[in-house]
Amino acid sequence: MPLRKLHAVFARGGTSKALLFHRWHLPPRREDWAPIFLAALGSPDEHGRQLDGMGGGTSSLSKVCVIGPPTRADADVDYTFAQVGVDRASVDYGGNCGNMSAAIGPFAVDEKLVAAPRDGEVTVRIHNTNTAKLIHARFAVHDGQAAVDGPLRIDGVAGSGAPVRLEFRDLAGARTGALLPTGAALQTLALPGGGAVRASLVDAGNPCVFVDAEALGLDGTETPERIEADAALMQTLEGLRRQASLLMGIAADDAAAAASRAVPFIGLVARVRPWTSRAGAALGREHADLALRMLSSGNAHRAVPVTSALCVAVACRSAGTLPALLCASAAGPLRIGHPSGVVVVDAEPEAGGGGVRHASVYRTTRRLFQGEVLYRAPAGEAG
């Protein structure tokens, strides 16, 4: 049976990579996209490597972005994000990917979807359809193309690149409609076998549940490999994530919470202790304000998803939440320590609380491939 082919761009955005498709190159019905995405990325793969596709074997490397004309007047393009399962046939549209958001504006300029100066700076207004929120991406343009080379280095990515400033607008309640979906800044979640752990359920950028690392016998310096190798810990964290999903109103029952692994993300938060980055750098309290280890789709992240960084930054500026209690900085930009180093995020809450004006972060992006992705025809379809 001959392979199918589809025009695509393969790009890195921040510390993630994804296939990018034009909306008009895909079937009209979104229900027909999943088999294409799964086949193109090589999922499901019981070996967890996606060697028969474009995926990279972890959640941060198993992503798809779809870009098309805007469906609201205050946006330049629509952007739909799909989190593709690695070891299971799942395609989840429940949340956004902040890292890949960095690639959407440059894609729109390079593909001539928006007008831009031949040289200078441009702001692309992106409507993320997953969350119905706006993202303003600001970056340089050279010779009519989005700039690639530049001085910005981000931990977790080798080399440097041109900065892309992402400003996430009105990001509170992206999925649930409220910054604190349960109405409580701090609450407890039940542990298997008895006991409880402090947690904060926060919805900003993407829904997240932040739990006390120390209460689980951790200190916030753990590597992703150490976390994933502890089967009992992973089971406990998945149970806490499912509880949060129910409490936040994301899932109606435990089966639905288990089936949708993309959101809420779960994060281990702790006071900063000395740790060594994946690149071997010695870091400590003078470099970060909060330690964070994030998990999503059954994987511990090697860095930190941008939407999780935004969410924890908002939580740190929301009185009474667990991140705020553990954070060493009360105002200004927040330095978040993660396995690959540090990311700096700025969040501006609304006067009186209850919302967030915007949160911003700088990322880099680069187009890695352009052409046609080849994939096997979905089962049941003729070649």
- The domain ranges of the chain are 4-163+365-375, 187-351
Question: What does the alpha-carbon distance between residue 330 and residue 269 come to, in Å, rounded to a whole number?
Answer: 16
4-163+365-375 and 187-351, same CATH topology: yes
Structural domain 4-163+365-375, CATH architecture: Roll (3.10)
Tokens of 253: 């029952």
Give the model confidence (pLDDT) of 305-342 as tens digits: 999 999 999 999 899 999 999 999 877 789 999 999 99
Q: Which CATH fold topology does 187-351 show?
A: Diaminopimelate Epimerase; Chain A, domain 1 (3.10.310)
Which one has a higher pLDDT value, 96 or 331? 96
Whether 383 shows a pLDDT value over 80: the answer reads: no
What's the pTM?
0.83
> Given this model, what pLDDT does residue 61 score?
96
CA angle 119, 25, 376 (to 5 degrees): 125
Whether 275 shows a pLDDT value over 90: the answer reads: yes
Q: How confident is the model at residue 88 (pLDDT cuts 50, 70, 90)?
A: very high
Instruction: Kindly give, in sequence order, each residue whose CB lies less than 8 Å from that of residue 299, ignoring residues fewer than 6 positions away.
Output: 58, 59, 60, 86, 224, 228
Mean pLDDT value of segment 231-259: 96
Cβ contact 238:226 at 8 Å: no
Residue closest to 124 by CA, chosen among 63, 70, 182: 70
